[in-house]
Amino acid sequence: MRKLYPYLLLIPTFVIIIMFIYYPAGSALKLSLYKTSPFGNRTIYVGLRNFRQLFEDPEYLYAVRFTLIYVSVSVAITIFMSFIIAYMLTRGVPGTRIYRTFLFAPYAVSPAIAGTLWTFLLNPVVGHVNYFFAKLFGIQVAWLTSKPYAFYALIFATVWKMLPFDMIFYIASIQDVSLDIIEASTLDGANTMTRVWRIIFPLVSPITFYLVIMNIVTTMFSSFAIVDVMTSGGPGGYTTNMIYKLYLDAFTFQKRGPAAAESMIMFAIMLVVTIIYFSFAERKVHYQ
C-alpha cells in the first residue's frame, strides 16, 4: 500500500501538467508544421514552410529586433537601478523602512494596471509626468502614439513594475555579504564608488545572474499586458514585440500555422536562456 502512495499523491499535479502544458505544447509543435486552409476545415503538412515564411516577413523580423532592444534596455536599467537602490537601503539610514515600502509597492500592482497608470501619467492633457516633462524639458508629445516616445513609455512602465522584485533580492543578498569585507575595504581607503562596484557588485553576481534571467523572461513574455494596455503594439506596429505579434497573428489575423511557428521560436529562446542559466549556474552560482 505504502508503495502506491507517492503515485497517488502525484496524480493531481501530473494530470494537470500533462493535459494543460505538455499536450498543448505538443499540439503547437504539430500545428507549426501544418497549414490550415482558409475555412479552417483542412490542414496540410507543409514542413518548415511556416518558419521560412516568418524569417522572410519584415514585420516579424522587426518584432524580433524590437524585442531585443526592449528587453536589453529595460533589463539593464532595472538591474542597475535596483542594485544601487538596494545598496542604499542596506546602509541603515533613518527612514529605510518607509522608503522600502514605497519602492516595493509596484510589486502588488498587475502589469495591466501598471500600463494603465502610466497611460494616465503620460496623457498629453491630464498626465502629471507629461506635465513635468513639458515644464522641465519642453517636450510636449503624444507619448503613446509617437516614435520614439511610445518606446520610452513602455520602458517607464516596465522598469517601475519590475524593479521592486529585483530590489528585494538584492537587499537580501547584500545583507549576506559579510560586514568584515565591507569594513576591510573601507580601511583600505577604497572610496564608496569603488567599494560598491569593485567589491560588492561582484560578490552578489550570482543573484544578478538569476535576476537577469528572470527579467528577460518577464520582459519577453509577461510584457504582453503592458504593451496591450499602453500602445496595442502601435503606432503602426512600432512597439509590437514578439509576444504581441504572436497574439495578433493567432487571433486578429487568424494565421494559425505561422503563429504556431512563432510559439516554437519562443520556446526555443526560452530553452537557450535556461541552458545558459544552468550551465553557468553549475559553475558559478552558489545558492544561499
Partner 1 sequence: MTRSSKKRLNTILIEIVLITVSFIFIMPIILAITMSLQPPESVFSFPPKFFPTAFHWKNYVDAFNTVPFARLILNSAIIAVMITGGKIITGTLAGYAFANFKFRGRSFAFSFLFATLFLPAETIMILPLFNLMNKLGWVNTYWAMTIPFMASATNTFLFRQHFMSIPSSLEDSARIDGAGPMTYFIKILLPLSKAIIGGATIINFVYSWNMYLWPLIITMEDKMKTVQIGVRMLISAESANNWGIIMAGTMIAVLPTLLLFFTLQDLFVRSLVRSGIKE
Report residue 150: phi and psi, to 5°: -60, -35
Least Å distance, CB 186 to partner 1, is 9
With beta carbons less than 8 A apart as the criterion, state whether 151 and 62 touch. Answer: no
Tell which positions 176-205 bind partner 1, by CB under 8 A: 192
What residues are paired with 35 via a beta bridge?
44
Using CA atoms, how far apart are residues 184 and 186, in angstroms rounded to an integer?
A: 5
The rounded distance, in Å, linking the Cα atoms of 76 and 139 is: 25
Q: Taking contact as CB under 8 A, which single stretch among the options 47-55, 64-72, 166-174, 197-205 is the one that binds partner 1?
A: 166-174
Q: Work out how close the CB of 5 gets to partner 1 at its nearest, in angstroms, rounded to a whole number.
A: 5
Q: How far is the CB of 127 from partner 1 (least distance, A)?
A: 7
Binding-site member from 34, 222, 235, 281 for partner 1 (CB under 8 A): 222
Q: Using alpha carbons, select from 206, 184, 208, 202 the residue that is nearest to residue 80.
A: 208
Among 228, 234, 235, 285, binds partner 1 (CB under 8 A): 228
- Does 154 bind partner 1 (CB under 8 A)? Our answer is no
Q: Which residues of 217-251 are buried (b: 16+ CB within 10 A; e: fewer)?
A: bbbbeebbbbbbbbbebbeeebbbbbbbbbbbbbe
**Residue linked to cell 500555422:** 257
Residues 87-146 that bind partner 1 (CB under 8 A): 88-89, 91, 93-96, 98-99, 101-113, 116-121, 123, 125-128, 131, 135
Q: How far is CA 64 from CA 58, 61, 136, 144, 266, in A?
A: 10, 5, 34, 20, 10
Q: Is 285 in the site for partner 1 (CB under 8 A)?
A: no
Binders of partner 1 in range 232-271 (CB under 8 A): 243, 246-247, 250-251, 256, 259-260, 263, 266-267, 270-271
Nearer to partner 1, 131 or 238 (CB): 131
Stretch in the footprint of partner 1 (CB under 8 A) among 55-63, 71-79, 158-166, 233-241: 158-166
Using CB under 8 A, which residues numbered 24 to 53 contact partner 1? Answer: 24-25, 27-28, 31
Smallest distance, partner 1 to C-beta of residue 69, A: 20
123 contacts 130 by C-beta, under 8 angstroms: yes
The answer to the question of residue 3 lying near partner 1 (CB under 8 A) is yes
